[in-house]
Structure 1
Amino acid sequence: MLQDKKVVIIGGSSGIGLETAKQVIAEGAKVIIASRSEGKLQNAIEQLGDKATAFTLDTTQERQVQSFFEKVGQFNHLVVSAAETSGGSFLQTDTAQARQLFENKFWGQYYAAKYGAPKILPHGSITLFSGVVAYKSMVGSSILGAVNAAISNLGQTLALELAPIRVNIVSPGIIDTPSRSKMPEKDRNQFYATVGNKLPVKRIGKTEDVAQSVLYLIQNSFVTGTVLHVEGGHILA
């Protein structure tokens, strides 16, 4: 179904985005990945091979995003998994930090959808990324939860406004990705074990789990306006 299709993955240089790129290529598609980090892009291209092309892109810069899609031209599917996230006490979080989180995650996806949608070919799709804290309130996640909820609402509304382009949202839970490598290994493993034991599935997520969900949303032409929860039952725990 993806044979010779053109898929743009913003955030495709590592973690969930890179794993999605691998699975999309395995289905026969050509992939364009974009990221801020030239080093990560180079490493990703070495893994993905000649079916992938890379662009350096800062999604917080609207004109950069607009220029990026002008260079890319027409394509079939857009996946926006790029985002830097953070948490913290509501009262102790600087307003500037809260605004930056919106810039990184909400506005980056907003710009991508705005400038990417006109380039999407018939029967194409957009997949945005929200997150579990939009649906399960947790101490220290008030701002990130608000950002994620905004993305989910944006995506569902765009499913109506941009139709027949399909727009869906993936809402991951705790996933083992390179973004958590900043934590000391012992602390990270303990965190994963603690969270995993609380979930019905008794483990945290893998990038493969989320990438498979993205592929489902890309390929199923009867799904739009859906928030797909990929969190091992976290919102139930």
Structure 2
Amino acid sequence: MSENSSLMELTMDQIQTAFDKTLKTFNEPGVRLVLITNKYVDTALKFARENFMTREPVSKSIGIKWTAEYEQLWKRSLDLNLSLMFLSEKDEEPIALRTIRIARYDDTNDSDGIKDQPLKEVVRLLGYCDQKANFFGHFHTLEAFHFLGLAVAPKYQRRGYATKIFNTAVEMIRNFGIDPVYIKVEGSSNFSKKIFEKTGMESLYELFFDDWEVEGRTLIQNTGIHRSVKMYGMKLSTG
């Protein structure tokens, strides 16, 4: 890509080439790595509904439901053909999901246009954290790959798959050959934060759930060991 090109201009051929390079070095016994194209979108949406929405601390606390509006947000990301999934080689059962979209400095946080109240509150929360983190100002860039939902099916947890699919996604980003390229991600789970920090992501901002009040009440409660949302960023160089 040229210096003035946008990540939004990535072609399917470029995405497939980066994925194929990643696939050549992928080695996880019993696991098949797939790029989420149209063939896998429905499988990925079902996996997100069953394994992300019900376990992610903020969504669980606020009471997010899998509405058509919420599904559409996921589908917009999946339709970019950038997201990854691990499947069992034995029976094609989904193991893990890493959703990837493209974020720009001029993205708008249109929480007012969201009808579902719990979803509106999550978007407002993340919009506030984005402003405080100032990712694009910090890294002096106009756009980045944005890692969204990370989930592992319960029967496959505690095997390192969350770390492996995260690292695989980072490797695919490297394989686009864009230098430099940036990744942004947020974490609300202690487990995901640990993965991001071990991988070298830079912490840009942290908001403790106890400090987020809406109309005089603490909105996010009963999250157990998970106490905050943190915003992270990373600059990757292929050199």
**Which structure is richer in relative contact order (CA contacts within 8 A, separation 6 or more)?**
2
Provide TM-score, normalisation by structure 1.
0.27
Name the one with the larger helix percent: 1
